Amino acid sequence: MKKIYAILFVGALLFSCKKNDVMDRTIFIPDEDNYRLPAYTEWGYNSFGAEYEREYFLAESHIVPCKVLYNGNNKKMQFSLHGTTYSCYNTVLVFTFPFEQMLEYKDLEQLNNVKINLADKNCMVKMIRDTVETTLDVLDGELYFKRAQLLSIDDKENRVILSGTFEVLFLQKGFPMSFSNGRFDVGITKNVFYAN
């Protein structure tokens, strides 16, 4: 009997939530090969993860996982992943790269099947750990937007889901370090997109 009441309570709770509240949550589905990383998905689970040396860089449910800034003056996009690592509570990885004009979040559909060579001189990768910002000396790397899809709910455009992978090999204090097996699946709304 308790199980029935629990199921009814959870069902009522889910139906009482606004659709955007449900869509904005971070959902962690473990990868089959490495349960510490999220599986690669294209469902807008607002999740990401990567191996960072012997740690993991992961999205957290209490932090907005991704923000996008487009600077029209220098025609560069800033794609940032906000999460945590085991040793440092708050970590942000910021990818900056040249891209075509973006005026609103719906224009992010142009990123579908786009690969960014992070070692290119026009690209930059920064890491912010707590309040310390470091520009990474990138040796090799790729940010791959495998899929960019506009999601509509009840015939109303709601968000662009960006799904893909990333790898970054860089030097830090003369030693090679890396983010590897990176993957992301994030929903970008007008609230986390800014263009000037």
Query: Does residue 17 form part of some domain?
Result: no
How far apart CA 100 and CA 69 sit, in angstroms, is 13
Query: Does residue 4 form part of some domain?
Result: no
Query: Does residue 90 form part of some domain?
Result: yes
pLDDT tens by residue, 35-60: 999 999 999 999 999 999 999 999 99
Query: Does residue 14 form part of some domain?
Result: no
Are 144 and 165 within 8 A, CB to CB?
yes
Query: Regarding beta strands 156-172 and 137-153, do their DSSP bridges make them parallel or antiparallel, or are they unpaired?
Result: antiparallel
How many domains does the chain fold into? 1
Look at the pTM and tell me if it is higher than 0.85. Answer: yes
pLDDT tens by residue, 157-187: 999 999 999 999 999 999 999 999 999 999 9
Query: Does residue 51 form part of some domain?
Result: yes
Mean pLDDT, the chain, integer:
90
Note down the domain range covering 86: 22-195
Q: What angle do CA 128, 130, 133 make, to 5 degrees?
A: 30
